[in-house]
Amino acid sequence: MIYAQSLVNGLLLGGLYACIAAGFSLVWGVLNIINILHGAFIVLGAYVAFFFHQWWGIHPFVSALGAAAIAGIIGYVLQASLINRVVAKSVLITLTLTFGLELMANNAMLLAFTADFRKVTLDRPLGNADIGGIFLPLDRAAAMGLSLLVILAVAYALKATRMGRAIVAVRTDREAAALMGVDVARTYALTFAIGAMMAAAAGSLLSLVFPVSPLSGHVFLGKAFVVCVLGGVGSIGGAVVGGIALGLIESFGGIVFGPESGLILAFTLLLAFLVVRPQGFMGNKALV
């Protein structure tokens, strides 16, 4: 029974990890940027959910929309005004820039929110279901469902909308897309904004599960990096597969090595994949 419970826990956790990593993977695949700022957007989303719930009693499932809108605007402005200036430079340059922006964001949140850990505690939680002796927390199950819904919505937009097709075209061949009339700089800014929106929405959903502080972004960024490598850089479907895989590994690994071993297991897996299968489960050719 303990293994069945671990399977359920791993799937619930993996769905949230997938949403964390999908935006990170999208930005990496299209812009060729390792966005260190991604973890700060996740934390920002969690704080928006916390304060919206504390001040106005808004459920994190609803405030995820507000968090995504705020992060999307910030992401668009940052990309259009700063990162686009160096996006064609080496990965080291963009890595350094996003790292600097992440430090500024962390310090701004420390000043605004203090270093205390915060977590949303619902007044009326959905409760738990008992399925044949398996404990299923319904709030977490709903958060996982919404997380996968966000990923599906972005995947659909990439296939079915003009903006999405422009993103896919720029990712495939930037020069050819520009010759066909695609505004590459604007497409980059929109892609970065979508990545930020997905991160903030995931942060709002995670606020029901994990306590966060302004410096928690490093932990979430590390998990996003691992999931991205597991699934395949730039593949949203791969992010789902990688997220579920990481959730299961952490859940079952917790039985053997203890719950504190999650991060160690994740990075051990990352190193193993970089050696054995650096392209990840799904490869890196398909965006969706």
pLDDT in tens, 248-270: 888 888 777 777 777 777 778 77
Count of CB atoms situated within 10 Å of the CB of 214: 23
Q: What is the pLDDT of residues 151-180, one digit of tens each?
A: 999 999 999 999 999 999 998 888 898 988
pLDDT at 167: 93
Given a contact cutoff of 8 angstroms between Cβ atoms, the answer to whether 28 and 257 are in contact is no
For the residues 192-214, what does the mean pLDDT come to? 92
- In the chain, what are the domain boundaries? 1-121+135-276
Strands (E) across 56-206 are located at 128-131, 134-137
pTM for the structure as a whole: 0.90
Across the range 50-70, mean pLDDT stands at 94
Q: Fill in the amino acid letter for 175.
A: E
CATH fold group of domain 1-121+135-276 = ABC transporter involved in vitamin B12 uptake, BtuC (1.10.3470)
Can you state the angle between helices 236-257 and 2-31, rounded to 10 degrees? Answer: 140
The mean pLDDT of 98-109, rounded to a whole number, is: 94
pLDDT tens per residue, range 6-57 = 888 888 888 889 988 899 989 988 988 889 999 999 999 999 999 999 999 9
- Contacts (Cβ under 8 Å, ≥6 apart) of 71: 41, 44, 45, 196, 197, 199, 200
Using alpha carbons only, what angle is made at residue 130 by residues 128 and 132, rounded to the nearest 5 degrees?
A: 165
* Nearest-5° Cα angle at 253, 250 to 254: 85
Please give the pLDDT value at position 283.
64
If one compares 68 and 241, the residue with the highest pLDDT of the two is 68
Rounded CA-CA distance 247/242 in Å is 9
